[in-house]
Amino acid sequence: MSIEDLTPRETDGTPRESAGMIHPEVRAPGDESERHQDGGRLQHAEAASKPIAAPKTREQQPRGAKIRGNRPIDQGEAAERFLAAPLHQAAHDERLWDLRKKRDVSAHGIPEWEELREIASNIKAHTLSRLDTYLEQFEAAAKANGVHVHWASDGADHNRIVLEILRSHGAKTLVKSKSMLTEECGFRHHMAASGIEIIETDLGERIQQLDNEEPSHIVAPAVHKTRMDVAEVFARTLGTDPENDDAHYLAESQRETTRPYILNADAGMTGCNFAIAETGTVVTCTNEGNADLSGNVPPLQIHSIGIEKVIPRIEDLGVFIRLLSRSALGSPITQYTSHFRGPRPGTEMHYVLVDNGRSERLGMEEFWTSLKCIRCGACMNTCPVYRRSGGLSYGATYAGPIGLIIDPTFNKRKYSTLPFSSTMNGSCTNVCPVKINIHEQIFAWRKVLAEEHQIPLLKQGMMKAAGAVLSRPAAYRAAIGTADSALRALPRFAVYNPLNTWGKKREMPEAPKQSFHAWYKQNRMAGASKKDVASKKDVS
């Protein structure tokens, strides 16, 4: 089978690579969608990345980090396995970089982008500084709308509350839309152990559920999978054709098998993008409409809400809506921005407000601003480490740069290695729509973990030795000279060994014949000394 045979096509035979994944009328030159300053149409998230050539033999999907109780996650080991799968690594990198590029085009398409970021950051800071007041306002407004409001101190409390609600209604099946909070709480696994069947309605989440994996990305849960992986999963679990990896066929197969669950479910659940204190409204943003179905079809409706999701007023919502999808996908808005305010006649609605460590994080001077996060995934899409190692390598609910600063707040020991999985390039901070200083917080976590001895003894010793050398200029210059001489003289096997992690998967740089300090002393300081001598002679 050739690459040409695998290229998706429109009904008229046009290769979809050139046609795009959108309706021809939307692509028409006379449409009124957003445009560049030069008049060209903005290329929003149209899934327009060039197709990746299918290999002659299928490549097995790498699995995530190995979880060993409370022991520190070995993200490096899992990343190595992901890098050893070239098709998956290349596809993952290209897809996410494509989203990053679309984000840039979309952001630059509106002149007030930076002003919106500043306003959003200030709204979040203001709200978090008065979080108790706005949560009480939200609760009062929700109750006035006929909603039952519950408070959960942690993930276990959230799961207990939801289970009690379901059992009080005799509910056995629940359909839910994508929610990182429920993933954080281990909700689906807890419900399964309690005899409640949970069906994920988001396509990516459903793929991951059927493959018994956690989501690898905040916005695109199955982005680490190729369409061949999905075809294999669906063939095994849904009975589809294992040789048909057409994206439309696979998506339609999932839709057909999931729709009956939605129509017959006893209860529905959604997450929450924004909770509006002024009106008691929960707002969810989706591109599949699955939150609308999960929230409006079953007679019992439950919304899981992180307490940091509250914003003061309905007019504030417009700021975040303009930022969210542009940052996540490069599109001006999500397909569905749904407002849930009160129960439909004859139905029941519940809000479960969850803390799960957020109050404690709010009191952390260096890390409280991480609560501003609106879960757009922009920092993940731009991160060179995340793009090349896959989200599952982090072994945590939240991967990528935002995960590096959130995860240790849950468990310092287990996630102690993650803040070191960064190049500290600052790109994550540059793209964050609410201006979280992510890279600075990553550095701050490194300092905290080192001070609390939450890093391996070998690394502690290496850092202590490096500190001793770097704090003494003479010792540093001597060490550099010795290292350069060793690189030039030692045989290859002596340089590329397990102790030299810098030589893993890459070539060491060629050692210069002279250090910059030596060159400067010879060419600049010597010249300056001669000028001083000449100047003194002239004066005399």
pLDDT digits (tens, 9 = 90+) for 89-105: 999 999 999 999 999 99
Query: Can you give the pLDDT at residue 51?
Result: 53
Res 42 pLDDT > 70: no
| Confidence class for position 236, pLDDT limits 50, 70, 90 | very high
Q: What is the pLDDT of residue 75?
A: 94
What's the half-sphere exposure (Cβ side, CA atoms, 13 Å) at 513? 0
Top pLDDT among 31 and 384 is at 384
List of E strands, 335-443: 336-340, 348-354
The tens digit of pLDDT for each residue in 138-168 reads 999 999 999 999 999 999 999 999 999 999 9
Whether the per-residue pLDDT at 50 is higher than 80: the answer is: no
Residue 154's Cβ-count burial label (10 Å; 0-12, 13-18, 19+) is middle
Locus of tokens 């849960």: 221
Q: What is the pLDDT of residues 263-307, one digit of tens each?
A: 999 999 999 999 999 999 999 999 998 999 999 999 999 999 999
Listed residue (348, 182, 156, 163) closest to 270, CA to CA: 182
- Determine the pLDDT at residue 491: 81
Per DSSP, 15 falls in state B
Rounded to an integer, what is the distance from CA 114 to the centroid of its chain? 21
Task: Give me the residue label for tokens 């979040």.
Answer: 124
Contact 208, 221 (CB under 8 A): yes
Amino acid at 180: M
Residue 309 has pLDDT above 60, yes or no: yes
CA angle at 43 for the pair 42 and 45, rounded to the nearest 5°:
130
Query: Helix or strand or coil: residue 250?
Result: helix
pLDDT tens track for 476-485: 888 777 777 7
Q: Sheet with 173-176: list strands edge to edge.
A: 148-152, 348-354, 300-306, 267-270, 173-176, 197-200
Give bridge partners of residue 199 from the DSSP assignment. Answer: 175
Give which of 353, 328, 405, 357 is closest to 135, Cα–Cα: 353
Q: Identify the sign of the CA torsion 37, 38, 41, 44.
A: negative
Q: Determine the pLDDT at residue 509.
A: 78
**Tokens read off for 199:** 């069906």
Q: 50-64, 84-98, 511-525 — which one is most confidently predicted on average?
A: 84-98
Please give the structure tokens belonging to residue 477. 């210059």
What are the backbone angles phi and psi of residue 151, rounded to the nearest 5°? Answer: -120, 125
pLDDT of the residue at 508 = 75
Asked whether residue 115 carries a pLDDT value surpassing 90, the answer given is yes
* Confidence bin at 4 (pLDDT 50/70/90): very low
pLDDT digits (tens, 9 = 90+) for 489-514: 778 877 777 777 767 777 777 878 88
The residue to which tokens 């100047």 are assigned: 535
Does the structure show a pLDDT above 50 at 325? yes
Give the span between the Cα atoms of 281 and 382, in whole angstroms. Answer: 32
Decide if pLDDT at 436 tops 60: yes
Full set of structural domains in the chain with CATH:
71-109+374-455 (1.10.1060), 112-356 (3.40.50.10420), 457-531 (no CATH)
Helix intervals (H) in 48-112:
75-83, 86-108
Q: Indicate the helix (H) or strand (E) that contains 53.
A: none
Are 150 and 351 spatial neighbours (Cβ–Cβ below 8 Å)? yes
Q: How far apart are CA 365 and CA 349, in angstroms?
A: 36
Highest mean pLDDT among 4-18, 272-286, 441-455: 272-286
- Residues 293 and 262: beta-carbon distance below 8 Å: yes
Res. 349: pLDDT tops 80: yes
- Reported for 131-140, long-range contacts at CB under 8 A and 24+ positions apart, including other chains, are 131/307, 131/308, 131/310, 131/362, 134/277, 134/310, 134/311, 134/312, 135/277, 135/307, 135/310, 135/353, 137/277, 137/278, 138/275, 138/276, 138/277, 138/280, 138/310, 139/280, 139/353, 140/280
- Bridge-based pairing state of the strands 281-286 and 336-340: antiparallel
Q: Decide: 408 and 345 in contact? Cβ < 8 Å.
A: no
Q: Considering only residues 470 and 151, tell me which one the structure prediction assigns the higher pLDDT.
A: 151
Residue 356 phi/psi, 5-degree rounding, is 50, 55
Give the model's pLDDT for residue 536. 56
Q: For residues 264 and 299, what is the distance between their CA atoms, to the nearest angstrom?
A: 10
Bridge partners (DSSP) listed for residue 340: 282
Helices (H) and strands (E) in the chain, counts: 26, 10
